[in-house]
Structures are given as structure tokens and as C-alpha cells.
């Protein structure tokens, strides 16, 4: 009888020891289907228009018809996200305006003439404008000159890696 | 690990087994619960993280061009990192097997996952440890909408720490451990109750068996219920009843046998008395010399055998009196020395037996029965000790008892015969069956001694010869 008891106790201790308490390692295990989407057009045939997500600015791809890419990108930005883009959580923080944003390229500089005062705009809205202009321009990391109404001196800014407008004179790229 | 003496009792064994079984079940239940809980916690964390990552990727990838630049990928990684929320995952992207692109430091990724993800068409997940902390890494391929069957051009890696899940699991383990111990302790109470319930009939049976062993064959146990122990109790009762009836039958048979022997002896007495009367005439005839020598010898033989037979019958009647319990002690205050002297004188043994008796020693005893005992002891000594035997009768007395020893210097009693010397019909020499004694003399002497509350023992003296000792209490019952 004591022998049986000893055996049972041993099994018990072994069971308790085998229980293990932590999170164990695993092999590589399948975890569902891949994600589908995007990766369709080449960059040259796309306009990148910056809208706003909860995580910051985000460039959406629009088909790029021939013509003035910069002005078309600005127009698309002012028009706001499409219904499909809104469904994906994209919004714009630019106020609506009857007047367009005039954009033109002169000697490697991009000039944006705004219908609003910059101080009336949210910082993220400025980022939208600057980054969309920067993406539409063919040049590499161009300086954007933002011109307010009734103001001659432009704001010299550029779009940084995080999709934010930063003054062009302070640190070329953050 | 468990000392054997601690588990010898049935109660201890029952409680221990009960305890072990309950501890085992509690531990197993706790373990299973814990394992399920752990799996659920980890699986939920993984599923939630994957779901979030998928949702974010699905809403961002439509904007990725077919030839994303490093900036595009870095922007996506930034978006995904910012979307991590409390999970705190860190992401890295690899486009067409290229190097990992991340916004900050690259997330920790097991090499196995990277190798398999390069060719995999499904999402992958792997848990691994980094330092002491468990981590979960996932690889999520993004296929081009235009060619969903083709190899996924983009693979999104994300990994995050499972430290908070580990905490939950630890809490769960602590709860499981804390739960198992009280269950085991609480199990002692029903174990004790069950042991008591089980052991009560066992104890009753033991008591009954002890009483039966003590002789009360009418003992029965009270049987309640219908279980195996009740069956055992019923069997015990049946056994007791059988034993009782068998014992009664045996007693009955024994009594009948004894009565038969007594009856036979009594029936033989009358014809033997007549024959004894005739033997004297025959003896006179045989010794007269008027008969032919052969006839005289035959007559002598008949007369001897008749005398022997009548003595045997007398002895048998005496034995049956003892057996029937009708022998009574007629106690009288007598002088022991005088009693011995009379016994020897009556049988003409005075000149052959020496005596050593303190004069004036008085005791309360049955003189007739003590005379029978002494005659037997001395007679035996004279008969078996040889012709020139010297017999000594000694009496020693203290306040409690009197010891009478009859010693001779004969050949002694054979060792194999010594234990049976007081049995009925024991003969000194098995081959020499035709001796004067009936073989009942010492048995009757023993019964007489026992009737006095005394004993009779036989030993061989170290220097040869037999010592027979009669011990009698000075105040018989």
C-alpha cells in the first residue's frame, strides 16, 4: 500500500512540475490570409495627394492625367477625399474655399498662393498643402514657397520624411 | 517519502488515498483550466493584433504605387507604428525580398520567421523569447490587387512584447495554485467522515470476532445497509451461527460418549462383582494342588485378568465421574504425615519407601483423594523403578501450598513420553501392554490434584530417576 501511495505522489509531483507556467515559444505557424490591395500603378502615373489619418498625413494615389501635375494635385487636394477614401478613414483639414490654390514652378522653386491666412490654418493642413506640392513636383525635396494673401514675403518650407511641413531653413531634413 | 508506520491504519490509508485523489483531481483541473486560459489569452492577443494590423494595412495599401520608393515604405511603416496603440508593436517592411525598412530601430524578428515569410503566401506568426520576455512576431504578406495569385511583393513584419499577457498568465497560475490547495485541505473533512463511516462496521466486526474468540459463540453483529460490509456482517453472523450449532453438536456427542462409557462401566460392575467373588474360590482351587497343573495355571490366569478388569472398571467409573463433573471434594483437616503413613502402611510399602515429612503439618484436603494420588505416585515409582528401587516421599510446605515429591532412583521416564505421562492409557512401555496398571492411574491422580486446585508434574532428576511433584494449596477452593 505505501508503495502505491508513493507512486501516486510521484505522479502528482510530476504533473505539477509539468504544468509549466509561462508563455511558451512556438514554431512559425500560419495565421490567416494575406492582405490584398494596391500596388497597381507606377509612380509616374500617380498623383500623391496628402490627406489626414489618425496617425498623421498620408499620401493617397490618384490617377495623373496629362498636364500640369502640380495644379491638378492642388485641385484634387482642395476637392477633398473621395467617398472611398473617406471610408478608409481619410479626411482633410483644409477649409473649403471658393478660390483655388494657385501653384506654379519657377526655377526649381514651387510657389503656392493660398486663399487663406496661414495662421488660420491648422498645422496639419499646411503639411497637406506643402507635401502634396512637394510630391507633385518633379524635383527632389523641393522648397515650397507659401504665399498668403496681402503678404509679399513667402514662407519657405519643405515636406519632411514624416509628411509634415517644416521650415526650409532649419535642418534640411529631420 | 511516507513512513510506513504512519499509513498502517486503515483510517490513515483511507484519508491519505482520499487526499491524494482529491489533490490529484484539483491539480489536474487547475492545470487544465490554466492551460486553456493561457492559450486563450495568447491566442486573443495574437488575433487582436493581427486583426488591427490587417485593418490598417487594408486601408493604407490601396495608395501604395506598384514601385514604392523607400520613402513610401517608410511612411507606411510610420503609419503602422503610430497605429500600434497600447500594443506597442514595431513594424518593418520588405519589398520584393529587399532589406527591412523601418522608421526607427528594427523590431526583433526570429530568423526562422523571416526565412519562411520570404516565400509564404499566408500570414505567419511565431512566439519567441527575447531576454526573459515572450514576444510575438507576425509576417503579413500584401499581394497586389491586380495579381492576387502571384507572389506577394510586400511583406509587413510586426513584433510586440507579450509581457502584459505574461502577467495575466502569471496571475492565472497563481490563482490556479491558490485554488488547488484549499480544495485539498477541504477534502480532509469528507475523507475523515467517509473513513469513520467505513470503519465503524469494521470495528463492530472486530469486537464481535474478539468476543467469539473469547468463547461467546452467541455473538452477532448488527447489520445495517446493503453494501459489501453489510454482506460481510451477514456472513460473519452465518459463520457464528454455524460455529455455535457445531459446538453444541460436538458437546452433545462428547457428553453422549462419556455417558456411554459411564453406562458401560456401571453395567460391567455387577457381573464383575460376581466374577470377583468367584475368583476367590478359583484361587483356592488353583492353589489346592488338586487340579491338573495346566488347569490350575489357566484358572490363575482367569482370576488375575478378572481382578485387573474390575480395577479397570473402577478406574473408568472414577474417570467418568470426573468427566461428568460430579466428583466432589470432601475436605477435612488432616495431618499430612499421618496421611502418608497410612497410605504406605495400607499397601505394605513401609519398608520400601522412605519418608521425609515435618511432624504436625496439618492441611485442609480430601484424605481419600490424596491417598489415591499418593498410592498412584508411589506405586508407579515402585513398579517402574526396578526391583531394588529406593523411593523417597518428601513434604515441603509454606504458607500458601504443600509440595509432596515422590522421587526414585530408577531409569526415569523416556523423554518422548514425559509430556504425555498424565494422559489416559499412557503406558510406560508400548510393547509391554500387559502390566498391572490400567493406564488410568496417573490421569485420575491428575484429576484429583486439579479438584484440589493443585497440580501434578513429572520431571527426570539430573542424576537419573523420576521426580513426581504434587502441589496442593493449603486452602482448597
User: DSSP readout, A51-81?
Assistant: EEETTEEEEEEEE--SS-HHHHHHHHHHH--
- Angle in degrees, CA B400, B406, B412, rounded to 5: 130
Q: Is the pLDDT reported for residue B163 higher than 50?
A: yes
Percent of chain A exceeding pLDDT 70 equals 79
Total-model pTM: 0.56
Query: Does A6 or B278 have the greater pLDDT score?
Result: B278
- Residue B34, pLDDT above cutoff 60: yes
Contact A23, B38 (CB under 8 A): yes
Query: Which of A44-58, B367-381, B394-408, B455-469 is least confident?
Result: A44-58
A19-46: per-residue pLDDT in tens? Answer: 556 777 787 777 877 777 766 666 667 7
Q: Is the pLDDT of residue B202 over 50?
A: yes
Of the candidates B157, B112, B165, the one whose C-alpha atom is nearest the C-alpha of residue B137 is: B157
Q: Cα dist. B382→B347, B387, B389, B391, B405 in Å?
A: 12, 8, 7, 7, 14
- Determine the residue among B4, B45, B63 to mutate to test chain A binding: the one whose Cβ has the most chain A Cβ atoms within 10 Å: B63
Given an 8 Å threshold on Cβ–Cβ distance, is B142 in contact with A8?
no
| CB atoms inside a 10 Å sphere around CB B223 | 17
What is the model's pLDDT at position A5?
60
Selecting from A19, A37, A40 the residue whose C-beta is nearest the C-beta of B31 gives A19
Q: What is the pLDDT of residue A173?
A: 43
Q: Answer yes or no: is pLDDT of B317 > 80.
A: yes
Statement: residue B434 has pLDDT above 60: no
Q: What is the mean pLDDT of chain A?
A: 76
Query: B40: which chain A residues are within 8 Å (Cβ-Cβ)?
Result: none
Bridge partner list, B134: B129
Q: Are B75 and A163 within 8 A, CB to CB? A: yes
- Residue B401: phi, psi to the nearest 5? -145, 165
All three cell numbers of B326? 460430579
pLDDT of residue B246: 93
Instruction: Calculate how close chain A gets to B241, using CA atoms only, in Å.
Output: 34
Flag if B138 and A31 touch (Cβ within 8 Å).
yes
Copy the grid coordinates of residue B7.
499509513
For residue B267, give the 3-state DSSP assignment.
Answer: helix
Q: Check whether B412 has a pLDDT greater than 60.
A: yes
Which among B54, B79, B123 is the nearest to A53, CB-wise?
Answer: B79
Per residue in B88-123, pLDDT (tens digit) is 888 888 888 778 877 877 778 888 888 887 777 788
pLDDT for B431 equals 44
pLDDT of residue A172 exceeding 60, the answer is no
pLDDT tens, residue by residue, B117-138: 777 778 888 888 888 888 888 8
Rounded CA separation B411/B464 (Å): 6
CB contact under 8 A, B42 and A23: yes
Selected residue with higher pLDDT from B311 and B8? B311
Report the gap between the CA of A29 and the closest CA in chain B (Å): 5
Contact call for A28 and B75, based on CB within 8 A: no
Please list, in sequence order, all residues whose beta carbon lies within 8 angstroms of the beta carbon of residue B62, skipping any fewer than 6 positions away. Answer: A37, A38, A61, A88, B145
Measured between beta carbons, which residues in chain B are less than 8 angstroms from residue A61?
62-65
CB pair distance less than 8 Å for A9 and B144: no
Using only C-alpha atoms, chain A has a radius of gyration, in whole angstroms, of: 28
> What is the average pLDDT across B345-374?
87
Percent of chain B with pLDDT over 70: 95
Q: Is B225 exposed, middle or buried (0-12, 13-18, 19+ CB in 10 A)?
A: exposed
Residue with cell 535642418: A171
CA distance A170 to chain B (A): 21
pLDDT in tens, B218-230: 888 888 888 888 8
For residue B456, what are the β-bridge partners? B470
Neighbouring CB atoms inside 10 A of B207's CB total: 12
> CB under 8 Å to B136, separation ≥6 — which residues?
B42, B45, B46, B49, B125, B126, B127, B159, B160, B162
A46 strand-pairing partners: A63
Cβ <8 Å between A34 and B16 = no
How far does A55 lie from chain B, in Å, by closest CA?
6
Q: What pLDDT was estimated at residue B238?
A: 93
* Among A63, A41, A51, CA closest to A131: A51
Picking from A31, A59, A60, the nearest residue to B123 by CB comes out as A31
Pairs of residues, one from chain A and one from chain B, whose beta carbons lie less than 8 Å apart: 185
Dmax (CA) of chain B: 167
Query: Which residues lie closer than 8 Å to B259 by C-beta, 6 or more apart?
Result: B324
Distance from the A161 Cα atom to the nearest Cα atom in chain B, whole angstroms: 7
Residues in chain B: 477
Average pLDDT over residues A91-97: 82
Query: Is the per-residue pLDDT at A16 higher than 70?
Result: no
Residue B415 has pLDDT above 60, yes or no: yes
Which cell numbers hold the place of B334? 488432616
- B337, burial (CB in 10 Å: exposed 0-12, middle 13-18, buried 19+): middle
CB contact under 8 A, A25 and B152: no
Q: What is the pLDDT of residue B248?
A: 92
Q: What is the ipTM of this complex?
A: 0.78
- Interface test mutation site (partner A, options B56, B62, B95, B113, max chain A beta carbons within 10 A): B62
Where residue A174 falls among pLDDT bands split at 50, 70, 90? very low
Q: What is the pLDDT of residue B60?
A: 81
Q: Tell which wins on pLDDT, A61 or B214.
A: B214
Question: Can you give the pLDDT at residue B250?
Answer: 94
Which residues of chain B neighbour A24 with C-beta distances below 8 Å? 127
pLDDT category at B432 given cuts 50, 70, 90 is: very low
pLDDT (tens digit per residue) in B150-159: 777 888 888 8
Amino acid at each position: 500500500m505505501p508503495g502505491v501511495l508513493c507512486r501516486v505522489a510521484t505522479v502528482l509531483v510530476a504533473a505539477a512540475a509539468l504544468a509549466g507556467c509561462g508563455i511558451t515559444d512556438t514554431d512559425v505557424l500560419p495565421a490567416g490570409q494575406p492582405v490584398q490591395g494596391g500596388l497597381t500603378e507606377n509612380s509616374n502615373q500617380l498623383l500623391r495627394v496628402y490627406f489626414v489619418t489618425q496617425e498623421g498625413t498620408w499620401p493617397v494615389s490618384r490617377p495623373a492625367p496629362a498636364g500640369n501635375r502640380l495644379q491638378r494635385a492642388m485641385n484634387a487636394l482642395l476637392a477633398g477625399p473621395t467617398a472611398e477614401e473617406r471610408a478608409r478613414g481619410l479626411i482633410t483639414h483644409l477649409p473649403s474655399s471658393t478660390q483655388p490654390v494657385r501653384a506654379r514652378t519657377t526655377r526649381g522653386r514651387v510657389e503656392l498662393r493660398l486663399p487663406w491666412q496661414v495662421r488660420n490654418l491648422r498645422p496639419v493642413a499646411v503639411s497637406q498643402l506643402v507635401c502634396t506640392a512637394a510630391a507633385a513636383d518633379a524635383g527632389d525635396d523641393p522648397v515650397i514657397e507659401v504665399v498668403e494673401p496681402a503678404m509679399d514675403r513667402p514662407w519657405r518650407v519643405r515636406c519632411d520624411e514624416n509628411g509634415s511641413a517644416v521650415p526650409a531653413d532649419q535642418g534640411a531634413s529631420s | 517519502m511516507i513512513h510506513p508506520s504512519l499509513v498502517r491504519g486503515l483510517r490513515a490509508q483511507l484519508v491519505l488515498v482520499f487526499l491524494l485523489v482529491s489533490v490529484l483531481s484539483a491539480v489536474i483541473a487547475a492545470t487544465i483550466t490554466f492551460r486553456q486560459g493561457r492559450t486563450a489569452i495568447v491566442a486573443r492577443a495574437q488575433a487582436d493584433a493581427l486583426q488591427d494590423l490587417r485593418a490598417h494595412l487594408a486601408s493604407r495599401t490601396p495608395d501604395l504605387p506598384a514601385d514604392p520608393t523607400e520613402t513610401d515604405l517608410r511612411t507606411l511603416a510610420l503609419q503602422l507604428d503610430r497605429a500600434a496603440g497600447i500594443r506597442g508593436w514595431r513594424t518593418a517592411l520588405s519589398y520584393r525580398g529587399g532589406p527591412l525598412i523601418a522608421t526607427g530601430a528594427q523590431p526583433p524578428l526570429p530568423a526562422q520567421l523571416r526565412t519562411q515569410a520570404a516565400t509564404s503566401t499566408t500570414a505567419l506568426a511565431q512566439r519567441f523569447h527575447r531576454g526573459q520576455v515572450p514576444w510575438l512576431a507576425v509576417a503579413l504578406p500584401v499581394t497586389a490587387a491586380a495579381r492576387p495569385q502571384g507572389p506577394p511583393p510586400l511583406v509587413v513584419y510586426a513584433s510586440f512584447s507579450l509581457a502584459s499577457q505574461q502577467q495575466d498568465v502569471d496571475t492565472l497560475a497563481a490563482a490556479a495554485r491558490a485554488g488547488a490547495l484549499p480544495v485539498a485541505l477541504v477534502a480532509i473533512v469528507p475523507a475523515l467522515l467517509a473513513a469513520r463511516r467505513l470503519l465503524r462496521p469494521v470495528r463492530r466486526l472486530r469486537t464481535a470476532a474478539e468476543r467469539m474468540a473469547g468463547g461467546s459463540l452467541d455473538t452477532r453483529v448488527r447489520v445495517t445497509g446493503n453494501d459489501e460490509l453489510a454482506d460481510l456482517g451477514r456472513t460473519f453472523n452465518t459463520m457464528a451461527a454455524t460455529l455455535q450449532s457445531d459446538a453444541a453438536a460436538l458437546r452433545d456427542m462428547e457428553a453422549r460418549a462419556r455417558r456411554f462409557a459411564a453406562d458401560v462401566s456401571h453395567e460391567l460392575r455387577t457381573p464383575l462383582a460376581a466374577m470377583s467373588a468367584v475368583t476367590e474360590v478359583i484361587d483356592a482351587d488353583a492353589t489346592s494342588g488338586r487340579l491338573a497343573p495346566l488347569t490350575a495355571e489357566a484358572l490363575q490366569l482367569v482370576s488375575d485378568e478378572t481382578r485387573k478388569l474390575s480395577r479397570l472398571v473402577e478406574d473408568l467409573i472414577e474417570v467418568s465421574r470426573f468427566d461428568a463433573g460430579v466428583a466432589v471434594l470432601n475436605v477435612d483437616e488432616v495431618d499430612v504425615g499421618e496421611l502418608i503413613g497410612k497410605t504406605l502402611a495400607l499397601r505394605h510399602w513401609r519398608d520400601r519407601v522412605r519418608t521425609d515429612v515435618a511432624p504436625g503439618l496439618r492441611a485442609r484436603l480430601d484424605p481419600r483423594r490424596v491417598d489415591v494420588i499418593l498410592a498412584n505416585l508411589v506405586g508407579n515409582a515402585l513398579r517402574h523403578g526396578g526391583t531394588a528401587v529406593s523411593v523417597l516421599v518428601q513434604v515441603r510446605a509454606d504458607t500458601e501450598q504443600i509440595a509432596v515429591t515422590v522421587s526414585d532412583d530408577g531409569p526415569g521416564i523416556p523423554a518422548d513420553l514425559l509430556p504425555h505421562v498424565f494422559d489416559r492409557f499412557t503406558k510406560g512401555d508400548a510393547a509391554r501392554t500387559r502390566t498391572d496398571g490400567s493406564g488410568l492411574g496417573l490421569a485420575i491422580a491428575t484429576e484429583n490434584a486439579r479438584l484440589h486446585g493443585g497440580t501434578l508434574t513429572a520431571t527426570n532428576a539430573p542424576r537419573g530417576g523420576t521426580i513426581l511433584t504434587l502441589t496442593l494449596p493449603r486452602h482448597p477452593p
